[in-house]
């Protein structure tokens, strides 16, 4: 983290990209480095920057860990992985607490309930989800 901080303090371009469109954020989240990810977010890295395939950094990171989840949003994936740190980071940086999964209509709060994950449920409640949204089977 200290080298990245030194580079940024020295004027390194936080918007720089590789030939395939990867940003520093792509590399940080894909490697699981929470410290560098947080530093980049604090410094204003573009969270929604996409690579040449149209994938954001957080989406790419989740795909590496769960390759069979092409229709899932990063927030849903982090909830299913029970990753409180990434879930909080996503929500603090603009992910919609009420995002709906295209396959089953689940919101993140639905996923936490179905996973019987009390810690995730409490975290999601901090971001004021709409508790009346129903999934495709009509459950809220």
**pTM for this predicted structure:** 0.56
pLDDT in tens, 48-104: 888 888 888 877 766 655 444 445 677 888 899 898 988 998 888 778 898 888 778
CA distance 35 to 111: 27
CA angle, corner 74, sides to 7 and 50, nearest 5?
50
As given in the structure block, the two tokens for residue 78 are 């982090």
Provide the pLDDT for residue 28: 86
* Beta bridge mates, 50: 56
Say if residues 102 and 71 touch (Cβ distance below 8 Å).
yes
Given a cut of 80, whether residue 42 has pLDDT beyond it is yes
Q: Domains of the chain by range and CATH?
A: 1-65 (1.25.40.20), 68-140 (1.25.40.20)
């Amino acid at each position: 983290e200290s080298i990245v901080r030194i580079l940024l303090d020295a004027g390194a371009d936080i918007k720089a990209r590789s030939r395939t469109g990867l940003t520093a954020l792509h590399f940080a989240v894909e490697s699981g480095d929470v410290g560098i990810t947080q530093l980049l977010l604090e410094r204003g890295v573009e969270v929604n920057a996409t690579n040449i395939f149209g994938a954001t950094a957080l989406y790419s990171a989740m795909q590496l860990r769960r390759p069979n989840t092409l229709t899932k949003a990063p927030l849903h994936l982090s909830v299913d992985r029970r990753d409180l740190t990434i879930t909080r980071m996503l929500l603090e940086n603009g992910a919609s607490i009420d995002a709906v999964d295209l396959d089953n209509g689940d919101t993140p709060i639905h996923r936490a309930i179905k996973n019987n994950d009390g810690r995730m449920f409490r975290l999601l409640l901090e971001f004021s989800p709409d508790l009346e949204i129903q999934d495709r089977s009509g459950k809220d």
